[in-house]
């Protein structure tokens, strides 16, 4: 590791072991003074605004050089601002309002996997409930597959439920997919997802602002959520109960002024209640398909929406006069031609010949007591 | 039948046998000249704007006195504007833009059943697919029951699926319920709903603008839908495929500036696709329960009343999507639609249609260089 940013990288690697991710004191200081000056101050055990002395002592025991070397041996790189691989969209976190007293830029991103994380400005986050339903998992997977097929990188966590379904869908769609963790990228959480995480490390990317070895905590999940929103161009919530963590990611997308999208579900499902709440509150736009999401995100020129249309029915092809006569045929029982003519407000002869034409295509059928609707009219 | 309105009633009864419901020529003439003058002109076989001679001849064969008498014997009354039982909210149809060349006030309403139809200003329409799913029927029924328990009258058609589920729910909730038909109120369509219609005729009301004996036609269903929207304070669509007739009713609610609400469902269900489209287009607000609907409708006794609120400004009544677009229009200078869309984080087409709606109420004004805030936005 002999690059121009080496001193900066060492400072950031060290600091990333000190504070909690998204701790506003740390991210604020680094923003104001720069990582190296903060590191220098703390190493000198000088007090900084009276808040950091408690952690300064720990700095002595750290060895960022060894840290970066052992990460390297594990195939993990530490990407920091200024690096060519730094994803510029993450910088937006500098100006986003904190959520639950967390916020600000990550000190750096620890990355495992072949995917360069700076090349996914079109990435989309798909997040949702861990205890998703079969419906939710199916929808998340199909959404991710559709987006992946259109060149959109999928970003999510690595949890059960929607996260996993999203990655699976993206992989199935032959696309790129990124997992952002609330623990070190060398750790496996949940354990059941070892194969998934290994696969992503081999073919996609596993990302965290926590240094290798760090354990997941609730607070770290909340801080992690801002990265999922920041790395992507928009966030889709697939299933979320009323107090789901996915709503925290949604909140971050909102703070970052990125489109927030929500997939509806049955109103009888608790796993959709939080999603519906987002739509009702006007925070999220309802999406029902990858096409909907691509339109909102303006992916690849698809944003001029073609409204979903029902299949053309045979009756759509009728000439207007015939359509008018057809509309005048009672739906319940046969009618005489005079009565159909009266209803249609057309002449008798005209109606008679329209009926004959309509009968030819089975829109109407002649029966002893007049005319009734035929097979084709019921489609 | 010896009331002050008798000549008017006879004229309207006769005219109601002449034209098709919602025929703009007829509703326009009656609006401009009054029913009696139109009837008189036609009886004198004088031409009226060259359009009605074809039906004038038929007038001679009609006997409105006998018509009203025989309706009376069947327990059917003909309620016309000016009657104490006339539901004043229907008058809004006078100014609503036509939908598919149909519109205007009904000539009168043929009513069967003990419920007075003028006493349901709080009524809500619940409409949706005939081929509803078990999910949709369950939701419609529970919604209707909840609203009925809160004193809200339910209005719907008499079709299979959502219509029937809504009536059943309302009856189960001990509430009032009204069926509006696309045929004479003495007829039973569909035949399988004889028991339901009989029950409504005994305990609620069955209403139609078509005189007794009239058969249902497709065109009449479309005209009927405007009455369902006009009789109610808001419309809830429970399930609707992309081209469902329920969307026609939804369209009418919109034209009448009445809240349109939509119940989401699985995105995998074709029966929810039309509903989701309404929400995506910003035409309908998403509701998941009776409480949601009551809040939107401001039905007495809901939690809305508990929360102290700031003085209502015109903009507070905007639908959430429109409010969001309005907030994205710069206060200082005009902006192009693309820039507004970007700021609002919404799709271009969506923003465009919101701007057109907002312009109608002078929240925004179109100027050469884009859109700027209008008078109403400054209040």
B-chain residues near A333 (CB < 8 A):
215
- Say whether B23 and A139 touch across the interface (CB within 8 A): no
Residue that wins the pLDDT comparison between B27 and A43: B27
Q: Could you give the CA distance from residue B250 to residue B76 in angstroms, rounded to a whole number?
A: 29
Ramachandran assignment for B298, one of left (phi > 0), alpha (psi -120 to 50 degrees), beta (any other): left
Could you tell me the CA-to-CA distances from A26 to A20, A98, A102, B41, B148 in Å, in that order? 8, 13, 10, 86, 56
Q: Could you give the CA distance from residue B303 to residue B309 in angstroms, rounded to a whole number?
A: 12
C-alpha dihedral over B354, B358, B364, B366, to 10 degrees? 60
pLDDT of B331 over the 80 cut: no
Residue spans of beta strands (DSSP E) within A143-280? 154-156, 177-180, 205-208, 234-237, 260-262
pLDDT tens track for B265-282: 999 999 999 999 999 999
Other CB atoms within 10 A of residue A242 CB:
12
Ramachandran assignment for A287, one of left (phi > 0), alpha (psi -120 to 50 degrees), beta (any other): beta
Q: A182 to chain B, minimum CA–CA distance in Å?
A: 28
Q: Looking at the DSSP assignment, which residues form a beta bridge with residue B126?
A: B236
Greatest mean pLDDT among A335-344, A362-371, B230-239 lies in: B230-239
Test mutation, A258, A345, A370, chain B, max B CBs within 10 A = A345
pLDDT of B45 over the 70 cut: no
With an 8 Å Cβ cutoff, is A292 touching chain B? yes
Q: Enumerate domains of chain B plus CATH numbers.
A: 6-63 (no CATH), 109-297 (3.40.50.450), 314-378 (1.10.10.10)
Q: How confident is the model at residue B57 (pLDDT cuts 50, 70, 90)?
A: low
Q: Could you give the CA distance from residue A263 to residue A275 in angstroms, rounded to a whole number?
A: 7
pLDDT at position B233? 95
Q: Which of residues 120-159 of A touch B (CB under 8 A)?
A: 135, 138-139
pLDDT at position B311? 47
Locate the chain B residue with the closest alpha carbon to A282. Answer: B320
Q: Quick one: DSSP state of residue B225?
A: H
Strand A76-79 to A260-262 pairing: unpaired
pLDDT of A217 over the 90 cut: no
CB-based contacts of A5, cutoff 8 Å, min separation 6 = A80, A82, A83
B223 alpha carbon, distance to own chain's centre? 10
Q: How confident is the model at residue B300 (pLDDT cuts 50, 70, 90)?
A: low
- Say whether B348 and A303 touch across the interface (CB within 8 A): yes
Could you tell me the CA-to-CA distances from B96 to A124, B93, B226, B254 in Å, in that order? 42, 5, 10, 9
Greatest mean pLDDT among A19-28, A215-224, B136-145 lies in: B136-145
High-pLDDT (> 90) share of chain B, %: 63
Q: Could you give the CA distance from residue B261 to residue A276 in angstroms, rounded to a whole number?
A: 13
Q: How many pairs of residues across A and B have Cβ atoms under 8 Å apart?
A: 124
Q: Could you give the CA distance from residue B328 to residue A59 in angstroms, rounded to a whole number?
A: 47
The answer to ipTM > 0.85 is no
pLDDT of B307 over the 60 cut: no
Strand B364-367 to A124-127 pairing: unpaired
With an 8 Å Cβ cutoff, is B279 touching chain A? yes
pLDDT of A161 over the 70 cut: yes
**How would you class B201 by CB atoms within 10 Å of its CB: exposed for 0-12, middle for 13-18, buried for 19 or more?**
buried
Alpha helices in A86-154 (DSSP H): 134-149
Other CB atoms within 10 A of residue A320 CB:
7
pLDDT of A377 over the 70 cut: yes
CB-based contacts of A78, cutoff 8 Å, min separation 6 = A9, A12, A13, A68, A71, A108, A109, A110, A111
Query: What is the DSSP annotation of B14-81?
Result: HHHTTS-TTBHHHHHHHHHH-HHHHHHHHHTT--STTTSHHHHHHHTT--HHHHHHHHHHTTEEEE-T
A-chain residues near B346 (CB < 8 A):
259, 285, 296
Mean pLDDT of all residues belonging to chain A: 89
pLDDT tens track for A308-325: 455 567 777 888 888 889
pLDDT at position B368? 82
pLDDT at position B1? 47
pLDDT tens track for A244-262: 889 999 999 999 999 999 9
Reference A289, options B348, B270, B345; nearest CA is: B270
Other CB atoms within 10 A of residue A313 CB:
12
Residue that wins the pLDDT comparison between A367 and B328: A367
Q: Could you give the CA distance from residue B36 to residue B149 in angstroms, rounded to a whole number?
A: 42
pLDDT tens track for A353-371: 888 889 888 899 988 888 9
Other CB atoms within 10 A of residue B110 CB:
27
With an 8 Å Cβ cutoff, is A368 touching chain B? no
Q: How confident is the model at residue A164 (pLDDT cuts 50, 70, 90)?
A: very high
Mark B28-67 as b/e (b = at least 16 C-beta within 10 Å).
bbbbeeebeebbebbeeeeebeeebeebbeebeebebeeb
B219-241 mean pLDDT:
96
Q: How confident is the model at residue B305 (pLDDT cuts 50, 70, 90)?
A: very low
pLDDT at position A1? 46
A-chain residues near B263 (CB < 8 A):
267
Q: Could you give the CA distance from residue B174 to residue B151 in angstroms, rounded to a whole number?
A: 9
pLDDT tens track for A262-307: 999 999 999 999 999 999 999 999 999 999 999 999 875 433 444 4
With an 8 Å Cβ cutoff, is A332 touching chain B? yes
pLDDT of B349 over the 50 cut: yes
pLDDT at position A167? 98
Give the sign of the dihedral formed by CA A243, CA A247, CA A249, CA A255: negative
């Amino acid at each position: 590791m002999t690059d121009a940013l080496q001193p900066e990288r060492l400072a950031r690697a060290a600091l990333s072991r000190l504070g909690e991710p998204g701790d506003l004191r740390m991210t604020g200081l680094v923003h104001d003074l720069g990582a190296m000056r903060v590191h220098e101050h703390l190493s000198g055990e000088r007090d900084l605004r009276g808040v950091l002395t408690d952690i300064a002592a720990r700095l002595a025991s750290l060895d960022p050089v060894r840290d970066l070397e052992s990460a390297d041996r594990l195939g993990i790189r530490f990407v920091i601002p200024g690096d060519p691989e730094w994803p510029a969209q993450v910088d937006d976190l500098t100006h986003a309002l904190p959520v639950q007293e967390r916020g600000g830029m990550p000190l750096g991103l620890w990355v495992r996997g072949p995917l360069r994380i700076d090349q996914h400005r079109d990435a989309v986050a798909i997040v949702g409930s861990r205890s998703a339903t079969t419906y939710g998992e199916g929808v998340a997977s199909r959404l991710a597959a559709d987006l992946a097929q259109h060149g959109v990188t999928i970003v999510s966590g690595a949890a059960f439920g929607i996260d996993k379904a999203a990655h699976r869908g993206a992989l199935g769609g032959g696309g790129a997919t990124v997992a952002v963790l609330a623990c070190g990228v060398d750790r496996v959480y949940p354990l059941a997802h070892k194969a998934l995480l290994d696969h992503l490390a081999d073919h996609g990317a596993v990302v965290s602002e926590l240094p290798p070895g760090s354990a997941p905590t609730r607070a770290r999940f909340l801080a992690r959520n801002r990265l999922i929103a920041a790395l992507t161009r928009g966030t889709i919530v697939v299933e979320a109960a009323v107090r789901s963590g996915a709503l925290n990611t949604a909140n971050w997308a909102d703070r970052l002024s990125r489109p927030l999208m929500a997939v509806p579900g049955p109103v009888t499902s608790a796993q959709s209640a939080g999603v519906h709440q987002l739509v009702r509150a006007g925070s999220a736009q309802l999406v029902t398909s990858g096409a909907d999401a691509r339109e909102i995100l303006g992916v690849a020129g698809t944003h001029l929406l073609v409204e979903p249309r029902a299949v053309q029915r045979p009756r759509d092809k009728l000439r207007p006069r015939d359509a008018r006569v057809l509309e005048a045929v009672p739906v319940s029982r046969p009618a005489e031609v005079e009565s159909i003519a009266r209803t249609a407000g057309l002449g008798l002869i005209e109606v008679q010949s329209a009926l004959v034409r309509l009968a030819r295509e089975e829109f109407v059928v002649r029966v002893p007591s007049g005319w009734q609707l035929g097979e084709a009219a019921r489609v």
